[in-house]
Amino acid sequence: VQVIEEYDGYVDKFIGDGIMAYWGAPLAQADHAKLAVGCVLAMQKTMSQLCVKWQAEGVEPFTIRAGVQSGEVVAGNVGLRGKKMEYTVIGDTVNQAARLESSAKYYGVSTLVGENAYLRTRDAYQYRELDKIRMVGKQIPITVYELLLSQAAQQDKLYKQFAIALAIYRAGNWGEAENHFAAIVAKFPADHPSKIYLERCQYFKENPVAESWDGVFNRRGK
């Protein structure tokens, strides 16, 4: 919460073990997306420092995930007058951010950023394009990106190899894509996105897609 406030964000509510925060309301912030993404990076850094402290104290550490999206929302007092009323933001952008956070778990990454937020921040932060997904109940797909926490030389090699393999996958060359992703997994066994694509390639080799396939993955979970 302190980090969110340092980055001029507003803590809307606690949802179970999660925090919902937003930027750009009630007053507009031209750089709201960069503030949000910068906040996530700072939160991850703070969490790493806390984990070191907790381990020294014998406390089991844990990790955090985040979903970030930028777009139009409805902002204002929501509820029943005289009973329960609160200032909040609602709308499809809010829903997307929540589903991006849960999808980050599926891909095995710490932060998943939607296309709108990516376009507003790509000049300031490093990303890896992960997938094109169609969320539950939606027809229009979005491209999702992993926010990169560091820029080590080995990781740079991984991301470049992944981009090549992803392009081959989207062209529908399953065997060739499978070989590329298998090579990545052999060299970087902890890279969960590559494992996901390796499984998809193996599946599509046995279960051909329709000619109209658009390269989009339909997310069945929220």
The rounded percent of the chain whose pLDDT value lies above 70 is 97
**Can you give the pTM of this predicted structure?**
0.92
- Residue 38, pLDDT > 70, answer yes
Q: pLDDT by residue (tens digit) across 55-109?
A: 999 999 889 999 999 999 999 999 998 899 999 999 999 999 999 999 999 999 9
Residue 221 banded pLDDT, cuts 50, 70, 90: low
DSSP β-ladder status, 111-114 and 142-147 = antiparallel
Q: pLDDT by residue (tens digit) across 88-102?
A: 999 999 999 999 999
Q: How many of the other CB atoms lie within 10 Å of CB of 185? A: 16
Instruction: State the Cα–Cα distance between residues 203 and 197, nearest whole angstrom.
Output: 10
